[in-house]
Amino acid sequence: TSTPKTSTGMPEPSPVPQEQGSVQQFAAVSLSEEVGVEKGTSTPKMSTGTPTMPPDPSPPLRSRHRPPGVPADAPQEVVRAVDAAVMGNRGGGMDCLLEMVSEGQGELPHSVVDVLLGTMGGVDGLDEVRDTTGTGTSPSIMSNSGAAITAAELLPHLPFSEEPSPRTRMAVGLHAALRACTRNRAMCSSSGLLAVLLESAEKLFVGTGRSSTSPSSWDGTPLLQCIQLLGGHSLSVKDLHSWLGLVKKVLGTSWATPLMLALEKAMGSEEARGPAATFEFDGESSGLLGPGDSRWPFSSGYGFATWIYIESFSDTLSTATAAAAIAAAAAATSGKSSAMSAAAAASALAGEGTIHMPRLFSFLSSDNQGVEAYFHGQFLVVESGGGKGKKASLHFTYAFKPRRWYFVGLEHTNKHGLLGKGDSELRLYVDGSLHESRAFDFPRISKPLAFCCIGTNPPPTIAGLQRRRRQCPLFAEMGPIYIFREPIGPDRMSRLALRGGDILPTFGNGAGFPWKATNDHIKNMAEESFALNHEIGGSLHLLYHPSLLSGRFCPDASPSGSAGTHRRPAEVLGLVHVSPHVRPAESLWALAYGGPMALLPLTVSGVQMDTLEPALGELSLSLATASLSAPIFRIISLAIQHPGNNEELCRTCAPELLSRVLHYLLQASSKLGSGEKEGVTNEELVAAIVSLCQSQRNNHELKVQLFRTLLLDLKMWSSCNYGLQKKLLSSLADMVFTESICMRDANALQMLLDGCRRCYWAIREPDSIDNLPLTGTKRSLGEVNALIDELLVVIELLLGAVSSTAASDDVCSLIGFIVDCPQPNQVARLLHLIYRLIVQPNISRANMFAQSFISSGGVEALLVLLQREAKAGNNHILDNSANLSECDVVSNEGSDAKAMTGEGYYQDDESQLAEQHESIVHEDTEQEAAKTNGASFKMLGAKIGRKISNSENQLIKNLGGINFSITADNVRNNVYNVDKSDGIVVGIIRILGALVASGHLKFASSSSNPNLPDGLLTTVHDEGNTMSEDRVSLLLFALQKAFQAAPRRLMTANVYMALISAAINVSSADENLNLYDCGHRFEHIQLLLVLLRTLPYAPRSFQARAIQDILFLACSHPENRTTMTTIAEWPEWILEVLIYNHEKGSKKYVDGVSIGEIEDLVHNFLIIMLEHSMRQKDGWRVR
């Protein structure tokens, strides 16, 4: 009887390689063992628990040798059943195996697993530590992909009760074989293993959970890893459809998310980055042998470019054995006997040692002169040999990593000099970028090109030329191979890498089809490819593309080869396979209309039948679909790189559709998060959306639309919790500079300001939305303030990155928002932002923003704010809530005038208002304010029934604002979110002082209006002339009237520091500011006059501090004393302070300051000024 065939019967691209030494292993089996097997004898272990099989009536076949790798003690009937199953015999093979692996068969299932893994091969070192460097033991190649198919079919039926169970060992063995090398994945992919694995996964996962406490659960992670590896290698449309169908079927279990994550990893795997078709060199004896030439074609230099995926830098068992044979032959020839001397002889005779250094290419003449590029470890080495046996080598410093795709380019320039000497340079390109360029002598070769080897050096059997030279093949995948007869330069090398390895170049007139493009991007790609082919065509010597390999030859696709003028095909050495790859992104494009948009239904649990809008379904299904949202958005971001998927997104109006789905997911997250289970979406969803928007590189208009609809629309994100919104704003801040053009075209600043007024205004406009989560939980004002701070960071970065031409428009938008905003805390923050822009260290940009602020109506806006502050008076305490854990926010549906007029006031007790007011307020003023009605608010949340402690109160006073960092815990307690009611006035004073100090605003010397301050503000224009403006001149007057109208609320320590700092021209934001330092002078007298004129209305502690500081400044510098005596208000202002305190009341102490202390300060001030004036010619007033 003839021996059955060993093939699997499955379509293979090439003959299956057999492991070395198999003949010797077969011969080692003793005759007695063969006879014993043939007679049906078995071991005692097999006799127990094995059912008695009836005798086969057919004549017995001659026993077959065991496949290499099968354990010697494996039962023969298991070996026969596995062999029959692999051969496709269902009745005598697979059914028998199913019976063997059924429960209650003892150790028989383990034997089945061992025999299957041994027959399959490629799982050497299964229980050893994995070599991640790729420089250790070379991966083994699978012997039989049919055994892998059988193992996958048998997987659901294997027992798994005790670990390591047969099922787990089988899955881990399959994963090890697939992980070993690309050849194994290519064999299994062409055999249809992925479809079988998906069917097995369906049998295992559908209707089961993954609870670790359940005794019937099995960890299917190795199975998912096998599916992921095969999907990343090549994923057909049919397999992708089955994959997504399996995800839909297991939505009720916890396997849906791992399956979708496996698809995401397959989509972004390293293999998916490579060319669509590649040469596979097995590291044994494979390679390509190009044609020779009648002359040396590289007299002007050379260039080499390809895409490469290195499996391992080490040699295989076969090449090591061959090297030992070469060393033995060299030893016999030279008469040496020891191994060391044999290696030395081989090195001397062959010109190199026995170390395995796989060749990238070898261009050699008949006398062993030429150029070779090989890997020494992980480093690329170029070696050249010229006449008289001279050799030189250059080691590059770039460390290549195994199992990663690279575009590698080499160029060697040969610049001839006048005296026969020139400057030669060797350049290395990695992924299109010039990594290293070094001087290296170009070899002078007069002999013709004899050998042009790719992936190996000439084997020893060719013409007896290198009979003692060791062959060093490359274990790698390679894409298209370009060989140039001269360097093409960095620009063309970069464009070649950017084009990728999928393109099969065409040359000549009419090459390329840009008119067939369906969009501008594909048209530009076609035109660029045609231009690049036209530029490199004249320099191209040979071009071998994997898709052209047929049989043992690969035709030349260069201009001369494709035109037929020279037929120069490359001959295959050994076994060179062509591995086709179907990328997951391509299959996703071909799967359905819309491409990756077809995945969106998996994120929706229900649909309203009348409107077809997404709707929440049952809780378990909603949780399952929501958990798939982040992986699906990341898959779309990966698939969008494919031109077809990009076109599908444009065709299906993807931004609007994604916005609807995202809005549904965010609302579902808020509702689902309010139940017993935690919210299913978190910062991972924000990161996925950011990745989706940033991944669009080819269609700028589509990218702008994605930013506008998904990231910059704060209305959609306002229903989420604080952490999710903070993550969004932080992500926007990170993208300001990397995506500056896109955010500028998306009008990001205006959209963020509009989102703030719709979502973060407590006094809402008619078109605003409810900024509370849909769960009904309340949000504290501290959280809103923290989000506003994050938003202002984004706005400040946008303004910092703005160009000079667009700065005016952005500042105008900012001013318009300030004027419209009814929230004092937000206005104060924006004024502080404008101040920082005006005083930034970059003088040119600071002047740009200052001029933009003035020309956009900034001074008029400040006047409007001061009028609003004056009308509010002392009763406007909307955001003064330092002692509340949850703060009030107005929810008025009408205009904000209702809140400003004070309708619906409520009375508060005296003690609560006393804690809200600062220590500088008069006691009688506090009592009066306690009887005054406050604004009517609607609480965002219930008040926590405690008042802050004294230590927290002291911390609040020390903070003075929101300068400290905000965390998720203290945001809700408002410890770091104290909004001062004087923040607007402080910001106005700082901006005014900065504009005056920088020279953009100047004071006029006199005024014709006696009701206005003596100094007028005028704006200085670029031409140098000054123009008085009534609205600008009213600014100081409005500031004075605001202080008089609301002294209790506005005349605070912060306002005082801002005003006195502006008067002496120093920054009040400087923490190290010390007014008692010598050298401070009064520079802006008009700002000082505002302080002096309003000082009688201020609280007594404010008066005491101001008089004391001004007195010290007057004593510290003589010019200050002269200034004080020359102003028109001297000495009326200080006398009015004294008179006001006497008229106010008879209380002796207010806030720890007695009227006697005020009198002493006034008396001392007058004495010092009198002594100074007596030394002057005209006394203490000079008019």
Question: Which band of pLDDT confidence, cut at 50, 70 and 90, is reported for residue 428?
Answer: very high
Determine which helix (DSSP H) or strand (DSSP E) holds 1161, and give its type and residue range. Answer: helix 1155-1174
Q: Specify if 157 maps to a domain.
A: yes
Tokens 């901006």 belong to residue: 991
Cα 194 to Cα 83, 270, 278, 386, 818: the distances in Å are 21, 18, 20, 52, 61
Q: By mean pLDDT, which of 233-237, 766-770, 868-872 is the weakest?
A: 766-770
Q: Are 830 and 814 a contacting pair, CB within 8 Å?
A: yes
Q: Are 178 and 184 in contact (CB under 8 A)?
A: yes
Residue-wise pLDDT for 1044-1062, tens only, equals 888 888 888 888 888 888 8
Could you tell me which of 617, 610, 728, 730 has the C-alpha nearest to residue 672?
Answer: 617
Q: Which of the pair, 38 or 299, is modelled with greater confidence?
A: 299
Kindly report which listed range (129-138, 344-353, 547-556, 933-942) carries the lowest average pLDDT score: 933-942
Count of Cβ atoms closer than 10 Å to residue 1167 Cβ: 10
3-state helix, strand, coil split of the chain in percent (to 5) is 50, 10, 40
Instruction: Inform me whether the pLDDT recorded for 684 exceeds 60.
Output: yes
Could you report the per-residue pLDDT of 400-422, keeping only the tens digit for each? Answer: 999 999 999 999 998 765 545 56
Which DSSP symbol is given to 934?
Answer: B
Asked whether the beta carbons of 800 and 961 are under 8 A apart, the reply is: no
Two structure tokens written together for 528: 């660029």
613-659 confidence digits (pLDDT tens)? 888 888 888 888 888 999 999 999 999 988 888 889 888 899 999 99
Note the residue count of the chain. Answer: 1183
**Within-domain flag for 1161:** no
Q: In terms of residue numbers, what domain contains 153?
A: 22-191
The answer to whether 1078 and 1129 have CB atoms below 8 angstroms apart is no
Query: Are 401 and 506 in a shared domain?
Result: yes
Choose between 390 and 656: higher pLDDT. Answer: 656
Judge if 282 and 166 occupy the same domain: no
CB atoms < 10 A from the CB of 538, how many? 12
Distance (Å) of CA 851 to CA 213, 335, 753: 69, 93, 22
Taking each helix axis from N to C terminus, what angle separates 193-205 and 182-190, rounded to the nearest 10 degrees?
A: 80
> Which residues, 6 or more positions from 938, have their beta carbon under 8 angstroms from its beta carbon?
888, 889, 890, 891
- Cβ–Cβ under 8 Å, residues 887 and 974: yes
Instruction: Please tell me whether residues 167 and 300 are part of one structural domain.
Output: no
Q: How far is CA 1145 from CA 158, 326, 382, 737, 1050, in A?
A: 97, 114, 97, 60, 22
Contact 742, 751 (CB under 8 A): no
| Tokens encoding 250 | 């297991």
Q: At 519, which CATH number?
A: 2.60.120.200
Looking at residue 699, what is its pLDDT?
A: 87
Does residue 1050 fall inside a structural domain? no
> Which of 477-481, 756-760, 961-965 is most confident?
477-481
Q: Would 519 be classed as within a structural domain? A: yes
| Angle between helix 221-233 and helix 182-190 axes, rounded to 10 deg | 90
In this structure, is the dihedral angle defined by the CA atoms of residues 123, 126, 128 and 134, taken in order, positive or negative?
A: positive
Same domain, 178 and 282: no
Average pLDDT over residues 1099-1124: 80
470 with 572, same domain: the answer is yes
Q: What are phi and psi of 581, to 5 degrees?
A: -125, 130
Instruction: List pLDDT tens digits, range 570-601.
Output: 999 888 989 999 999 999 999 999 999 999 99
The residues pairing with 364 across neighbouring beta strands, listed in sequence order, are 370, 451
| 41 pLDDT more than 90 | no
Burial string for 1037-1047 (b: 16+ CB within 10 Å, else e) reads bbbbbbbbbbb
Instruction: Return the beta strands (E) in 830-972 as ranges.
Output: 888-889, 938-939
Q: Tell me, what's the pLDDT at 405?
A: 95
pLDDT-derived band at 361 (thresholds 50, 70, 90) equals very high
Q: Rounded to whole angstroms, what are the CA distances from 246 to 202, 256, 585?
A: 6, 8, 19
Domain count, the chain: 2
Q: Is residue 524 part of a domain?
A: yes
Contact between residue 353 and residue 346 where contact means Cβ atoms under 8 Å apart: yes
pLDDT band with cut points at 50, 70 and 90 for residue 329: low
576-580/277-282 β-pairing:
antiparallel
Nearest to 719 by CA among 669, 789, 676, 674: 669
The contacts of residue 498 (CB under 8 Å, 6+ apart) are: 432
d(CA 210, CA 188): 28
Residue 624 · residue 249 · CB < 8 Å: no
Q: Under a CB-based contact definition with an 8 Å cutoff, are residues 96 and 154 in contact?
A: no
| Range 92-117 burial, b when 16+ CB lie within 10 A, else e | ebbebbbebbeeebeebbbbbbbbbb
* Chain-centroid distance, C-alpha 489: 32
Rounded mean pLDDT of 511-540?
81
Judgement on whether residues 293 and 161 belong to the same structural domain of the protein: no
Residue pair 1000/851 in contact by the 8 Å Cβ criterion: yes
Q: Compare 313 and 1153 and report the one with higher pLDDT.
A: 313
Are both 152 and 297 inside the same structural domain?
no
Task: Tell me the CB-side half-sphere exposure of residue 382, using CA atoms within 13 A.
Answer: 26
Which residues does 723 contact at the CB level (< 8 Å), separation at least 6?
682, 683, 968
Q: Which residues pair with 1002 in a beta bridge?
A: 1018
Domain boundary among 134, 169, 191: 191
Whether the pLDDT of residue 89 is over 50: the answer is: yes
β-strand pairing of 405-414 with 287-290: unpaired
Q: Looking at 191, 222, 246, which one is the last position of a domain?
A: 191
The tally of CA atoms less than 13 A away on the side-chain side of residue 773 is 24
Let me know if residue 322 belongs to a domain: no
Helix axes of 983-997 and 858-872: crossing angle, nearest 10 degrees: 150
- Asked if 1148 contacts 1154 with a C-beta cutoff of 8 angstroms, the reply is yes
> Do 285 and 186 lie in a common domain?
no
DSSP for 315-379, please give it: --HHHHHHHHHHHHHHHHHHT--SHHHHHHHHHHHHSS-S----EEEEEEETTS-EEEEEEETTE
Mean pLDDT for the chain overall: 74
pLDDT above 70 (res 1151)? no
Shared domain check, 281 and 176: no
Q: What is the pLDDT of residue 1074?
A: 65
Give SS3 for 91.
Answer: helix
Residues 372 and 472 in one domain: yes
Give the strands of the sheet with 379-385, arranged side by side.
391-399, 379-385, 370-376, 359-365, 449-454, 287-290, 570-573, 553-554
- Bigger pLDDT: 643 or 967? 643
Note whether residue 70 is domain-resident: yes
Q: Of 173, 191, 209, which residue sits at a domain end?
A: 191
Whether pLDDT at 907 is above 50: no
Instruction: Judge whether 248 lies within some domain.
Output: no
Rounded Cα gap, residues 197 and 178, in angstroms: 13
